[in-house]
Amino acid sequence: MAVSLQKGGNVSLSKEAPGLAAITVGLGWDTRATDGTDFDLDASVFMLGEDGKVLSDDSFIFYNNKKSSCGNVEHLGDNKTGAGDGDDEQVSVNLAGLAETAKKLVFSVTIHDAEARKQNFGQVSNAYIRLVNSADGKEIARYDLSEDASVETAMLFGEIYRHNAEWKFKAVGQGFAGGLGPMAASMGVNLG
């Protein structure tokens, strides 16, 4: 399938991946080879309602809230260094099980503590975020963070949204200033 997406491009998941029931967001990067503070990238998912805000605070699935209350969105574990092959962080989404009120899922990647550590994606080797069909492991979309989001510290990767009776994916690929906190606030998460 290997769909190549331009920023802002849309793809109908029902057409490109018929029967798509579950997806996995994969985030990968290399451990730091040079001296200095580790690169700690974080994948997060926001489950939004009609109003573009999170359905509730636990619809913000990230390293401190690994599972939505409905159980359909699950963060499989925080990796703080990038150690290991392949995806270093994954969030799995059971699209088929989502409540009707969940209209859109937004996928993001952020560098933990980027400002204090003075880090950006370009300083990280082989950082990427991708969307995979959980059933067959095929990539639906991929974004090379090291290369194409080099000076960013946080990025909205893409979103899956309901369109009529089907799910569509939109590649957003847009940097976000301020990191995960302001991003969560913009999605309506009540920050403690």
| Chain residues that interact with other proteins, rule: CB under 8 A | 32-37, 57-58, 62-65, 78, 80, 112-113, 115-124, 147, 150-151, 179-181, 184, 189-192
For the bound state, the minimum distance from the C-beta of residue 21 to other proteins, rounded and expressed in Å, comes to 28
Residues 6+ apart with CB under 8 A from 11: 3, 5, 140, 141, 168, 169, 170, 171
Cβ distance to other proteins smaller for residue 62 or 157: 62
10 vs 37, beta carbon nearer other proteins: 37
CB-wise, 21 or 70, nearer to other proteins?
70
- Is the Cβ of residue 130 or residue 170 nearer to other proteins in the bound state? 130
Minimum distance of other proteins from residue 191's CB (angstroms):
5
110 touches 62 (CB < 8 A): no
Among 109, 111, 98, 110, residue whose Cα is nearest residue 47: 98
The tokens 């392949």 sit on which residue? 86
Beta bridge partners of 108: 44, 156
Helices (H), 35-123: 114-117
Task: State the minimum distance, in angstroms, from the CB of residue 166 to other proteins.
Answer: 32
